[in-house]
Chains A and B, each alone.
Chain A
Amino acid sequence: MMRFLLLFSRQGKLRLQKWFTPISEREKKKIIRDMTNMVLARQPRSCNFLDWKDLKIIYKRYASLYFCLAIENQENELLALEIIHRYVELLDKYFGNVCELDIIFNFEKAYFILDEFIIGGEVQETSKQIVNRSIEASDMLQEFQVGASTDTSPMSE
């Protein structure tokens, strides 16, 4: 099972965080700090896996963004690397040549895609087409609802 996924920039700015187990806010802050410090300090072309407490940290850099995924010890590290890769592909497919700015300005979409791909720390759907279809469908619903009732309370956005 996965424990959390963090996306941060080369400067250590957090761009996306997803926690699959309940963790207190303080603990989260500490983890984020640890992760950015550890991952950013890595030399290029070294191993993509790290030990952290009893977890394995799998990280990979795409352009200016670091993707950092924590998995439990008995999980398959290579597979985790492919999960990161697939997520990047999904983002790429949705945004078309995705870049850091896409995620900054459309973070809710990035979360949507992640929720369709991974549920509660397990991979749910691996097909690019299907994930895309359900994202598009929910986009439509959102537009429809916003159009239909302008006074809908904006609960999160």
Chain B
Amino acid sequence: MKRLSSTFMPSNWLSRAQRWRKELDLQSTNLIEVCMALTVVSQIFPKEMIPAILPLVEEKLNHPKEIIRRKAVLALYKFYLIAPNQVQHIHNKFRKALCDKDPGVMTASLHIYLQMIQENPEGYKDLTGSFVNILKQVVGGKLPIDFNYHSVPAPWLQIHLLRILSFLGKNDLRTSELIYEVLDESLRRAEMNRNITYAILYECVKCIYTIHPKSNLLEKAAKCIGNFVLSPDINLKYLGLKALTYVIQQDPKMALQHQMTIIECLDHPDLIIKRETLELLFRITNAQNVVVIVEKMLEFLQNSPDDYTTIDLVGKVAELAEKYAPDNEWFIETMNTVFSLGGDTMQPDIPNSFLKLLSEGFDSVEEDRKLRLFAVDSYVSLLQGETRKLPQCFLQVISWVLGEYSHLSEDHNRSTVLRLLEKLLDMKQTSSETKCWILMAMTKLCEGTAGVCVAQQVSETYISSMDTVLRQRAQELQHLSQDSELREEVLPRDSGLDPMEIDSSLSFLDEFVSGALAAGAAPYKPPHQRQEELAEAKVLSLEPYGLALPISMSSCSITDRHSPTPLSMSSGLSGDSTDVSHRAGLKLDGVQRVWGRDGYLAKKESVEEAAPVQGLTPVHSPSLQNEGDGSHSQTPTPTPTPEPDREKEQLASSLFFGVSSQSSVCLMGKPDSTFNRRRKAKVQAPGVTEQLSSSVAPVSNAVDNLLCNNLQDSNINSVSAASSKQTCELSPRVPAANGTCNTDCGLPESDRKRSNLSISRDNGLVDADSALSEDQGSRSDLCPSSYLPAELCGLYRSEIAPLCTAHSLELSACHVHQGDDMILIIFISNSSDSQVLQIRLDLKSEQLKVTCVSDSSVENIKSHTVAVYQYSLAVKRPGVDVEVDGTLSFLLPAGTPQTKHFSYKLPLTAFIRPLLISTEEYGTMWLGFSHEVKQNLTLVDDGCEPLTFTLNLLKNRLQLHLVEIIGLEGILACRLLQNQPCLMHCRVHAGALAVWLRSPVPELPDCLVYHCQRVLQEK
């Protein structure tokens, strides 16, 4: 029967048969058949077929039966996941589904909303009220009894809504205020001891910690987490740990409260609990507890069950070691364990960054030397032992380090090292890649007669190897070992410090390429393009039989369209093959920190900046014992027997050491402590971004450190500090109330009172705000539009939109249509009284090619003037909207460098121009284009000629060229600047406009259809 299995592969004939069957079913009048067809549609569905089936599914949204409507909504949700652009036009129908009188349909529509809100929370803030209302009604039991699950009203719906609300309320006080009440209500109602209510509670807790914080809710959430963690039910315990992990970055005190439970979980027999606990510890690691935590992680790794966990944990250990390593020996030893445990499965960037770190070194030459020396010593002793078990990538690291740095060691002369390396070469486990590394190391080391002798021997063995790379290395070794002068030149010692110049665009090959092209070679196509062209051959044809083909081509067969496109020549001499701007790693420059140890940090950066240095000191755990004991007495765990108890306490104190102090360091926006230099050396600091000035940090850290050490030795001396600390510690459950003690650094610790602290913070805020508004007032004097270059005046241009502000500088931008060029103009106005120096503006974009056309780059901007920058834009990769990212860097009057990021978005339509061609030309071009999209659009009716009216509307709004209208069909053409055509064929069909777009550019038809939809919808 129609029990179509869920597995269907897009390209076989069966699926095609099934599709026709489904299409029939969807038009069937039998309810159950339609139901089944929809069920099949929402299973795994091939993307290419969506356009064919979409109108039929859309139709079903208006079906009188709610079950059909619901399935149709779910099918559309699936389509949205697979191809968001294609269902763009039915957003208002989703809204209708959200307001459906049947709660089931409404529930189904929430799937789509959750997805859309997750992607773009700003666009749906207006719906917050509705979602809150729905949740209120659900929680209040207003839904039919059908929706209950074990007498809990619609738990799935509740959880969905909670998730949506947490996205909406994130970083948004106003929206969060709407949510508080219903959250409180949900927490209150979910007080039955059922799994399902725990699931709801868990979701509530997550929501509370995601949205703008509110103290009484936080208190309740903390209590919930406590109940979870302490629960005897292992599943709940797991969830509790997960919640703690989530919360702990924002509020490390929670960890202190539950430290004994965490310790117990660390020894839990169930691996998954252990694993989650390690995850938690990873989040609270700092320079003080790193040794214990890493030890625990490595312990887990020793008997870790699967590769995936190993890879993940090894990466984490390596990260912690780089960030917080207390000394060289520990660092090298830990990394040794990482390499031998991680083996060859681990991420390749771990050995890479380790080697980079060794070669680039840190601040002091002496330190570097010690570290390298220690590495060499430890590797030599490793190689003297059993080497068979060592993974290949570790051997590669070892051979590189030995080759580069063994000259530092006086204990081991070169011949010992050479002999050890030779031994490695002879092992049969050694892969040929590793052998290359070893040969390279030997090339660096062979000196003196003994060395040359060994080298000759080795190179003779490998010079006839089948592996070409290996043979190459053997050749190198042979020649360089004989010619020491040449070797000095090729492999200079300590060369790691000066960076090599790499011409990533391979421009030196340009001549060769153009020569080859002139000689008739085919132009280079990047792999993805080749793949696409291959895939095209297999593409399904979607047009139902009998649908008329476009004008003047109905007799041609569709397979003709692979004739070479005339425009593909531009696909690449050289240049965009390597995108250097892509850098791995997180970019955190622009990210504002909104959570702190004690809750939300309401815009305190400005206050902190002014804070004096000694501010950091008091919070640095005056006595860790004190903290440990204090919170231990709070944990309601039954006290275990004294002996293991003491052990655990010890472990606790070492694990949680400095947990709170760490957060205070972070609060200052400068997580690098002195221990942290390894990471610091790695990350290139691009000037200080809007935070603490760099000169302050080392001093404070030093003070910090000193104090910490002192206190460790004699914490009795600091009773006064401890006692005042305790007042803060006593009420860990009211995080927001005592939230300010470590952030308001300016005040001496002893005479702090919580109440006046919060006042002082408020004042700070108000001041900052008023300063801001004043700023804005003064800015308005400099109107950018009057600075528009004369030659661009009078041309069509967009509104001037503000981009960002940085101190006294204000950036705004607009784009101007200048014939076939698109010009982006950026205005930088300086509203302060002083000159701003060394301004640099860097623009980059993945989608656009940006070229600067300003005559001279202005470097300094005088007070109260506006500088204008011009850029010409061209589309590299089309998207619905295209975006330019920019970085502005400049020097403050005080001399501190500043950077600021911004982005400018413009619609693709800005780059669309009419393409003036005749119907005949259209016909031939149509066949040449391989990328197409089909879609049904609404027909705008003006009373007499709907087709003409709609096409004219599109023509005028999107700057298309209307080639011809014949009867019920019409053809349009346009081009994307500079010269990428897109053809459009429209036909009136069943009251809708069936459009069919083709272009040689893959993304273009899709984006254009989107804009057509927009235009018609606005109408």
Contact = CB atoms under 8 A, between A and B. Distances in A.
Interface of A: 18-22, 43, 45-54, 76-79, 81-82, 85-86, 108, 111-112, 115-116, 119-120, 122-127, 129-130, 134, 137-138, 141-142, 145, 152, 154-157
A156 B39 contact: no
A46 B1 contact: no
Interface string B785-811: 000000000000000000000000000
Contact of A138 (B4, B32, B70, B104): B32
Contacts of B272: 47, 49-51
Contacts of A134: 32, 35, 67
A78 B195 contact: yes
Nearest to B275: A51
B70 A124 contact: yes
Shortest Cβ-Cβ A-B pairs, 8 listed: A78-B199, A156-B3, A127-B146, A120-B42, A79-B199, A46-B270, A47-B234, A120-B78
Contact of B1 (A51, A124, A157): A157
B5 interface: yes
Contact of A53 (B42, B235, B308): B308
B44 A22 contact: yes
Contact of B203 (A20, A43, A76, A86): A76
B42 A119 contact: yes
Interface of A is mostly: mixed
Given A47-B238, A77-B239, 12 more contacts: A47-B270, A52-B306, A77-B238, A82-B199, A122-B77, A124-B70, A129-B146, A137-B31, A137-B32, A141-B30, A141-B33, A155-B2
B1 A145 contact: yes
A78 B44 CA distance: 26
25 contacts: A20-B43, A21-B44, A46-B269, A46-B270, A47-B273, A48-B234, A48-B235, A51-B308, A77-B235, A78-B195, A79-B156, A79-B196, A119-B43, A119-B71, A120-B42, A120-B43, A122-B74, A124-B108, A125-B70, A126-B154, A127-B147, A134-B35, A138-B35, A155-B1, A156-B3
B362 interface: no
A108 B74 contact: no
Interface string B72-101: 001101100000000000000000000000
Contact of A126 (B32, B156, B202): B156
B757 interface: no
A134 B70 CA distance: 14
Contact of A120 (B1, B77, B146, B198): B77
A154 B1 contact: yes
B111 interface: yes
B155 interface: yes
Interface of B: 1-7, 30-33, 35-36, 39, 42-44, 67, 70-71, 74-75, 77-78, 104, 108, 111, 146-147, 149, 154-156, 159, 195-196, 198-199, 202-203, 234-239, 242, 269-270, 272-273, 275, 306, 308-309
B159 A108 contact: no
B708 to A, nearest CB: 36
Contacts of B154: 126
A43 B273 CA distance: 14
B3 A157 contact: yes
Nearest to B33: A141
Nearest to B237: A47
A138 B147 contact: no
Contacts of B309: 51
B155 A156 contact: no
Given A120-B78, A126-B154, A156 B1 contact: yes
A149 B941 CA distance: 47
B971 to A, nearest CB: 37
A122 B104 contact: no
Contacts of B237: 47
A51 B307 CA distance: 12
Contact of B235 (A49, A86, A108, A129): A49
A129 to B, nearest CB: 6
B111 to A, nearest CB: 5
A108 B36 CA distance: 14
A76 B36 CA distance: 29
Residue in B1, B234, B269 with the greatest tally of chain A CB atoms within 10 Å: B1
Nearest to B41: A120
Contacts of A137: 31-32
Contacts of A46: 234, 269-270
A131 B43 CA distance: 18
A78 B77 contact: no
Contacts of B4: 155-156
A148 B17 CA distance: 23
Contacts of B198: 78
Nearest to A22: B44
Contact of A76 (B6, B42, B199): B199
A155 B36 CA distance: 14
A74 to B, nearest CB: 9
B209 to A, nearest CB: 14
B42 to A, nearest CB: 4
A137 B34 CA distance: 13
Nearest to B21: A155
Residue in A18, A115, A145 with the greatest tally of chain B CB atoms within 10 Å: A115
A85 B31 CA distance: 29
A81 B71 CA distance: 24
B146 A78 contact: no
Contacts of B270: 43, 46-47
A142 B1 contact: yes
Contact of B3 (A53, A82, A86, A155): A155
A123 B156 contact: yes
A4 to B, nearest CB: 10
Given A53-B308, A76-B202, A124-B74, A45 B3 contact: no
